[in-house]
Amino acid sequence: MSDSSFASSTPSASPTAASSVAWQALQQHADATRGLQLRQAFAEHPERFDALSEQAAGIFLDYSKNLVTEDTMRLLFSLARERGVEARRDAMFGGERINNTEDRAVLHAALRAPREVAGATVDGRPVGAEVHAVLDRLGQCAESIRSGAWTGYTGKAITDVVNIGIGGSYLGPKMVCQALRTFAHPRLSMHFVSNVDGHDLDALLTRVNPETTLFIIASKTFTTQETMMNAQSARSWFLQHGEEKDLAKHFVAVSTNTEAVTAFGIDPANMFGFWDWVGGRYSVWSAIGLPVAIAVGADGFREFLAGAHAMDEHFRAAPLERNLPAILALIGIWNRNFLGMSSISIAPYHQDLASLPGYLQQLEMESNGKHVDADGKPLTVATCPVIWGDTGTNGQHAYFQLLHQGTDVIPVDFIASLAAAHALPGHQEALLANCFAQSEALMRGKTEDEVRAELAGQNMSAERIAALAPHRTFPGNRPSTMLLLDALTPASLGALIALYEHKVFVQGVIWGVNSFDQWGVELGKVLAKTIMNELVAGPNTKAHDASTNGLIARARAALSQ
């Protein structure tokens, strides 16, 4: 790794976010607009919805229910410019090694560039041909499984596909397969095993037939403990039924590590590669998307890529003022850094997007959950908020109470599809009504006067009204953003994920962090190896703190019984 790669990590005009002119102007602006009332803002500016909404790549973004004015947005766009977002974006698309601590380019966007425009290069070497060669092989593999031409060791067609992987080698394919459930092949059941907890794999192995099951071992590094252990256990399970020579029909690998794949016993002919310039959490567009291609077909997978590419093109070309990823990122910066909000809730109003919050947790928190900038200097501004959530109407009956009346203000991203893929009457109307009502309720709230008037209309005693009114009052003025898709399709899902990826990128540039490394996951991995040795066979070293020593001793006693 060259020293110069570290030196070039923050090419913006201001050395830190906090020292930028725009940041300071935003701080003053935040103080001056602290009393902004959204109800009033909507009443006084009938054009607010039109002014603070945008559409691109099939996604409509309404950010008018955030605590911003057009002046706020102007200052935020200045911040993005001052922090060099546009230049950094061009550097990423241009294949520069912007992941400075790992000395790698960041080119997941190149995975979704169509063949005819695949012009990205790394170190001057075009990558498009290699990307499309893998994509073609992936498509052929997926189609042969779908058609039944790919058979198991007794000649039967595959019925169950088990993806063994974790983190980015799990969350993306699982979320996308679930989201595109209605486009999936009816014969094929997709399963995802990630947890080193044997209950995960064990529960599945009791349900699948070795004759008709295909395992995909998905790991960028092919060294991840959880994945390797599950892969070995799946292999042993298979060999209780089939023979070594049959493994090729039942095990394929997706990895960047050919050597380790071969050592595991998987024929390189059954391996689909990708590259070090694809981060794990950005890898669903690569061969890591094999389960998606199997589920929705090669054409469906290409539509998914095309949707993301449309968002890439928008992100590259649209001015920041009309740029969906930039807007979503800047709203997040405003809420996090100037209004002090430390988490954000993701509320998909679509059951098939149930895994989206979990997917975004990795995308956002593993990318931007950093305490030093890209040059290693301590940050003086807060970075990634906590990302959490669940499907909308389920959340309404669980934690939305806190969103409406809790002491913390938590912004919400509502995500809905206008069309449904089912014909059950009334459900879609009820779903959308709930979605829009929640964003309205968070924004409007209900004043104590309104509550009192309502209760008085119900002939309630003055004493009871006085007692109940505070409980039934909603502070309101709570921000939310609405993302609307026309329908949940491979293309719109691709665009949605790419939108969030670029949002994360823009925020990383503004905060000055490297969004593409994840050193914070290493320490626990190393300590786990030491403890594993002590649990399995090694001596009881008691080399840890008293708590960890005590826990290890209890586990050793239990495991040795």
Which residues have a catalytic role annotated?
366, 397, 525
**Least separation, in Å, of the C-beta of 225 and ligand F6P?**
9
Is the CB of 265 or the CB of 476 nearer to ligand F6P?
265
Is the CB of 58 or the CB of 165 nearer to ligand F6P?
165
Chain residues 351-390 in contact with ligand F6P, contact rule CB under 6 A: 366
Given the rule CB under 6 A, which of 40-48, 163-171, 387-395, 402-410 is the region that contacts ligand F6P? 163-171
Is the CB of 24 or the CB of 225 nearer to ligand F6P?
225
DSSP result, 274-322: --TTS-GGG-TTTGGGHHHHHHHHHHHHHHHHHHHHHHHHHHHHS-GGG
Given the rule CB under 6 A, which of 98-106, 122-130, 218-226, 484-492 is the region that contacts ligand F6P? 218-226
Nearest to 479 by CA among 515, 506, 444: 444
Is the CB of 66 or the CB of 256 nearer to ligand F6P?
256
Nearest to 176 by CA among 496, 493, 388: 493
Is the CB of 83 or the CB of 281 nearer to ligand F6P?
281
* Alpha-carbon span 1 to 430, nearest angstrom: 56
Binding test (CB under 6 A) with ligand F6P, winner from 99, 224, 391, 514: 224
* Alpha-carbon span 105 to 445, nearest angstrom: 46
The helix/strand/coil state of 272 is: strand
Report yes or no: 312 and 483 within 8 Å, Cβ to Cβ.
no
**Least separation, in Å, of the C-beta of 525 and ligand F6P?**
7
Residue 249: both structure tokens together: 């029909």
The number of angstroms, rounded, from the C-alpha of 307 to the middle of its chain's C-alpha atoms is 16
Is the CB of 165 or the CB of 297 nearer to ligand F6P?
165
Is the CB of 83 or the CB of 220 nearer to ligand F6P?
220
Binding test (CB under 6 A) with ligand F6P, winner from 84, 167, 357, 389: 167
Chain residues 169-198 in contact with ligand F6P, contact rule CB under 6 A: 169
**Least separation, in Å, of the C-beta of 66 and ligand F6P?**
31
Given the rule CB under 6 A, which of 166-174, 384-392, 433-441, 498-506 is the region that contacts ligand F6P? 166-174
Query: What is the Cβ-side half-sphere exposure of residue 115, based on CA atoms within 13 angstroms?
Result: 7
Given the rule CB under 6 A, which of 181-189, 216-224, 232-240, 390-398 is the region that contacts ligand F6P? 216-224
All residues at 6 or more sequence positions from 118 whose CB lies less than 8 Å from its CB, including other chains: 110, 126, 127, 128, 129, 131, 132
Contact between 281 and ligand F6P by CB under 6 A: the answer reads yes
Binding test (CB under 6 A) with ligand F6P, winner from 168, 392, 395, 411: 168
Q: Write the Ramachandran bin of 95: left for phi over 0, alpha for psi from -120 to 50, otherwise beta.
A: left
* Alpha-carbon span 126 to 68, nearest angstrom: 43
The helix/strand/coil state of 353 is: helix
Report yes or no: 296 and 304 within 8 Å, Cβ to Cβ.
yes
Binding test (CB under 6 A) with ligand F6P, winner from 12, 439, 489, 518: 518
* Alpha-carbon span 59 to 495, nearest angstrom: 8
**Least separation, in Å, of the C-beta of 222 and ligand F6P?**
7
Question: Tell me, what DSSP letter sits at residue 185?
Answer: -
Given the rule CB under 6 A, which of 22-30, 217-225, 406-414, 415-423 is the region that contacts ligand F6P? 217-225
Binding test (CB under 6 A) with ligand F6P, winner from 68, 92, 131, 166: 166
**Least separation, in Å, of the C-beta of 64 and ligand F6P?**
35
* Alpha-carbon span 152 to 210, nearest angstrom: 8
* Alpha-carbon span 149 to 199, nearest angstrom: 32
Q: 């063994």: which residue's tokens?
A: 164
* Per-residue mark of binding to ligand F6P, 521-540 (x: CB under 6 A): x-------------------
* Alpha-carbon span 374 to 84, nearest angstrom: 14
Residue type, 375: D
Is the CB of 100 or the CB of 227 nearer to ligand F6P?
227
**Least separation, in Å, of the C-beta of 264 and ligand F6P?**
13
Residue 151's DSSP bridge partners are 157
* Alpha-carbon span 83 to 101, nearest angstrom: 20
Given the rule CB under 6 A, which of 105-113, 162-170, 200-208, 243-251 is the region that contacts ligand F6P? 162-170
* Alpha-carbon span 314 to 89, nearest angstrom: 12
Q: 């947790």: which residue's tokens?
A: 361
Beta-carbon count within 10 A of 414 CB: 23
**Least separation, in Å, of the C-beta of 363 and ligand F6P?**
10
Binding test (CB under 6 A) with ligand F6P, winner from 12, 20, 163, 227: 227
Q: How many residues bind ligand F6P (CB under 6 A)?
A: 14
Positions touching ligand F6P (CB under 6 A) are 166-169, 219-221, 224, 227, 280-281, 366, 518, 521
